[in-house]
Structure 1
Amino acid sequence: MPDLAPPLIAWYRENARDLPWRRDGFGAWGTLVSEFMLQQTPVARVVPRLEEWLTRWPTPADLAAAPPADAVRLWANLGYPRRALWLHRAATEIRDRHDGVVPRDVDALLALTGIGDYTARAVAVFAYGDRHPVVDTNTRRVLARAVDGRSQPGSPAKADLAAMTAILPEAVDDAALVNAAAMELGAVICTARSPRCEVCPLADACAWRAAGYPDTGDERRKQARYEGSDRQARGAVLKVLRDADDHVARAADVIAEWPDPRQRDRAIDSLIADGLVEATGGMLHLPR
């Protein structure tokens, strides 16, 4: 297999976007918050929200001291709001178990609420400079094409970590750069629908290009349409409760105009089950 590290590093040094979490001194807590926010959410929506969060809660202890409702409210329209609750719980665990310091050890990170293989290794690598494989959706697509000659990656698997490890240089700093570069390449060049192969630094080494860009199928799970979905109903309920500040609202009044009352009630029930909404005497409010 060609050595992909040198062209990835050279390209990244010249072309990496200037993003807050890539700046010197950003810190492990900022890295952790950014990784929570970036899951299935575009960078452009994350950056302003991230700056708000870190201004209001510059340490895990600051967030842990706030009511969970504040975290859900400030999460606003980032989507998948359970992440706000998980981040609040993780902050509490960091305060109580790790003296308020985001742990460096991958296993310790994995033990925190809401943190999986990707986030744990991302914090260890990008905040602390350790050598681990970091694999997100963009990385998996780059590896599928450049190494395996496939048009799209398969379903996420533990083997992805081994595949990324295989292209990492031994030098710790270079390994971190390759992790970041593979993610960046997948985000801006080796995209899912319109890859810009003519400007890709891996063009000469890419197995998919060498094979003539075959369509090898797409096993990615398709996301359900948002319009008219239960997710949209959940979002509408949460918006009402976020805008209500500390007040509560009668369940029957929340998005009363929603065209499908059964879907509205199902959305409320699911939000209560997820801990994002609490019900007290027929009244709804964010978690306290």
Structure 2
Amino acid sequence: MIDPGQVLAWGLPRMRDLPWRRERDPWRILVAEVMLQQTQADRVIPKWESFLAAYPTPAACASASLGDVLRLWQGLGYPRRARNLHSTAAHVVEYFDGAVPDDLDALLALPGVGPYTARAVLAFAFERDVAVVDTNIARVLARTAGERLTPKRAQVAADSFVPLGDGWTWNQVIMDLGAVLCRPTPRCGECPVAATCAWRVAGHPDPDPAIGSAGVSGKQARFDGSDRQARGRVLAALTVGSRPVEDFDERILTGLVLDRLVVVTNGRACLPD
């Protein structure tokens, strides 16, 4: 069980100072949330700032080539996110006059926007009383419940704790609780809900209910020697210009072409400019 008052009392004086928390512009929030998917905040901050300096609005992003967006994204990883963000910008310009929508269904219809990102835009840009469930919050929910949760149960549980009129603050604070204390290896001695956390009260029995629960990320596969590393090297090489297809592993290059991240013309590979 979670007492929102205790969590807010713990979290408000300790809230992490992240630059997107000083924003309410929905495009800037959306860019941050897309970048934060599978990437730590300290790596995101400089890329978020440089991306928004180049593309301060959806219209600016939509008017750029995907190749230019990928060049700016270089080093952040998971480049399909850049492609989806570029497609989202074009969708917003075409269907919403360049303004990120404030409707859940409309947000979910945007390329690459899932339940978490859509609700994050509503909560953090529009200050709606909706609950977000990222990997940090999902750990808190599963452990306090003392069991693995399905996506539906996790969302229902998260929704039940949002204090009326305090959705923005609540989501930030419970996210910090998961990021700072309710880690994969938890720091229960400092936790404001330790006394009512079912898993902690039971003595931390195996298995940890957070493992395999909806929304909780597992360990990422090894990067060194992976296809992700090989794909990143191809894209990095193409940021400075086209190259003969023979320079690259055929399987890796074919995958990038199928993902619409690389174009092959006359035996040369290049970014989609």
**TM-score for both structures, normalised by structure 2:** 0.93
CA contact (8 A) 1:141 1:186 kept: yes
SS in 1 for 2:16: coil
**1:137 and 2:135 correspond:** yes
Q: Which has the higher contact order (CA 8 A, sep 6+)?
A: 2
Q: CA deviation at 1:222?
A: 4.3
Partner residue of 1:125? Answer: 123
| Structure 1 segment 73-222 matched on structure 2, within 5 A | 73-146=71-144, 148-150=145-147, 153=148, 157-169=151-163, 171-172=164-165, 174-192=166-184, 194-217=185-208, 218-219=211-212, 221-222=218-219
- Distance in 2 between residues matched to 1:221 and 1:199, nearest whole Å: 24
Q: Report percent identity of matched pairs.
A: 47
| Residue 223 of structure 1: how far off its partner (Å) | 3.0
Unaligned runs of 5+ in 2: none
Cα distance in 2 between the residues matched to 1:112 and 1:12 = 32
May I ask how many residue pairs the two structures share in their alignment? 267
* Residues 127 and 167 in structure 2, CA contact (< 8 A), matched pair in contact too: no
Partners of 2:232 and 2:244 in 1: CA distance: 17
For 2:199, the aligned partner's letter is W
For residues 223 and 49 of structure 1, the distance between their equivalents in structure 2, rounded to whole angstroms, comes to 21
The Cα of 1:224 is off from its aligned counterpart by 2.3
Task: Assess if the C-alpha contact under 8 Å between 2:36 and 2:44 holds in 1.
Answer: yes
Q: Are 1:7 and 1:201, in contact at CA under 8 Å, matched by a contact in 2?
A: yes
Deviation at 1:158, TM superposition (A): 2.5
Counterpart of 1:100 in structure 2: which amino acid?
A: G
Structure 1 distance, partners of 2:54, 2:167, is: 33
Shift of 1:128: 0.2
Contact 1:67 1:287 in 2 (8 A): yes
Is the Cα contact below 8 Å between 1:189 and 1:195 reproduced in 2? yes
Unaligned runs of 5+ in 1: 255-263
Secondary structure of the residue aligned to 2:162 is: coil
In structure 1, what is the Cα distance between the partners aligned to 2:173 and 2:268?
A: 49
Whether 2:242 is the aligned partner of 1:248: answer yes
Shift, 1:250, TM fit:
0.4
**Paired amino acid for 1:210:** V
In the superposition, the TM-score normalised over structure 1's length comes to: 0.89
C-alpha distance after superposition, 1:221-254 (max 9, x if no partner): 5432211111111111111012x1xx31101124
Equivalence for 2:46: 48
C-alpha distance in structure 2 between counterparts of 1:114 and 1:221, whole Å? 20
- Note the alpha carbon deviations across 1:7-54, whole angstroms, 9 max, x for none: 11112211111101111x441111000000000000010000000011
